[in-house]
Amino acid sequence: MRKVLAEILTIGDEILYGQITDTNSQWMSAELDKLGIKVVRKTTVADTEIDILTAFEEAEARADIVLITGGLGPTNDDLTMPMLAKYFDSDIILNDDVLEHVRQFFEKRGRVFTEMNKNQALVPKVAEVIHNDLGTAPCTWYERDNKVFVSMPGVPYEMKNLMTTRVLPKLQTTFQTPVIYHKLIKTVGIGESFLADKVKDWEESLPEHISLAYLPSIGHVKLRLTAVGQDKALLTEEVQKLIDRFLEIAGKYVYGYDDMTLEKAIGEMLIEKSKTIALAESCSGGYVQHKITSIAGSSAYFQGGVVPYHNDHKVNLLGVKEETLAAHGAVSELCVKEMAEGVRKAFGADIGASSSGIAGPGGGTEEKPVGTVWIAYADGNQTIAKKLQLTKNRILNIELTEIAILNLVRKSLKD
């Protein structure tokens, strides 16, 4: 079965100027994917005749379906409808059904219906009009040479309602679409290039109908397996077998799949092992605690934490030895070990974890430059510390420290 391809066009200078954010395209892409329709391009187009007509022509050459949002207002700068009429060589007519809908829309809201509002009822004669329940701008559908154009209002709630109730069902009956099945494998603690090299043979063995994409982000690498076929159950089974092989090669880096987050994965591991945790964060400023407590039900395993920025609090609250600070400083292996052990005991937790470092942009020395961070884990049986050499960016260093602490906890619980 051949792939059905779509292109999304968003029309409006306000998007190009950065005055509003285009959230429509992301939502539309996700919904089309569920139907097995592959989006090949998203384009934002200026409010000019040449740009709009060129975008129509290029999109039609690439895709089977062209979905357009925006530019449907009643004023002269709203060009989508007249440009569609020109592109499809059609006259523009006054649609009586749309006119009556617009009139009632205004009257029901106690608003004056003006001559300009009548412009909303002007549509290309060749178009099939699709009723817009939630607004005045009509949705229009065009077919030519086995290609489909659909024009919708740019207001998100209007567009989503039209897509869900009218456009997507109509596309399903118009095109015979394949099944597209995605599965995300989420990893931490290994860089993209190192992971790619590690699973190179596995990747090269993927069948033609299953593709792999690497999706790196701060501290994480996601791998997306995309399978295309006709039987979802069969595709799901094939992908799972591939994941089983992947786990044999790189399973120690995998913390979850699809919507799983690292902090949620840690929470599930703690619950499974009936363990509790407490945190002492200096350079990460409580960010790890924030991430842990963002998960519903975290009170089952999170005992509490402190942010002992000043060394006095490391000593008085956590029992860090003054001689440790004098001899090694707060940013040291011995200090974070004592912090992790101290916070575990102070909160009566099974596990304590800690951080101390130089987040920046100032405060670094030749011996300990900005980005030097120590983290530690303690569970009563073992105390592990790890040194990180991060960046000169303060916020990035805090995020990377959070990920490193959670990954240290994950690895320790897994062993």
Query: Please, which pLDDT band fits residue 106 given cuts at 50, 70 and 90?
Result: confident
pLDDT at residue 110 above 70?
A: yes
Segment 59-76, tens digit of pLDDT: 999 999 999 999 988 778
Mean pLDDT of the chain: 95
What pLDDT shows up at residue 368? 95
Q: What percent of the chain has pLDDT over 70?
A: 100
Of 57-61, 115-119, 257-261, which gets the smallest average pLDDT?
115-119
pLDDT at 102: 86
Give the tens place of pLDDT for each residue, 204-239.
999 999 999 999 999 999 999 999 999 999 999 999
pLDDT, residue 1, reads 63
Residue from 93, 73, 409, 102 nearest 264 by CA = 409
> Does 256 score more than 90 pLDDT?
yes
Per-residue confidence band for 118, with pLDDT thresholds at 50, 70 and 90? confident
What the block records as the tokens of 97 is: 């059904």
147 pLDDT more than 90: yes
Evaluate whether 172 touches 35 at the Cβ level (below 8 Å).
yes
Mean of pLDDT values over 300-329: 97
* pLDDT at residue number 103: 87
Q: What is the mean predicted confidence (pLDDT) over 26-50?
A: 95
**Does pLDDT of 2 surpass 80?**
no
Percent of the chain at pLDDT exceeding 90: 89
Largest CA-CA distance found in the chain, in angstroms, rounded: 87
Predicted local distance difference test score (pLDDT) of residue 356:
98
Tokens found for residue 61: 């050459």
What pLDDT band is residue 78 in, cutting at 50, 70 and 90?
confident
**pTM for the complete prediction?**
0.82
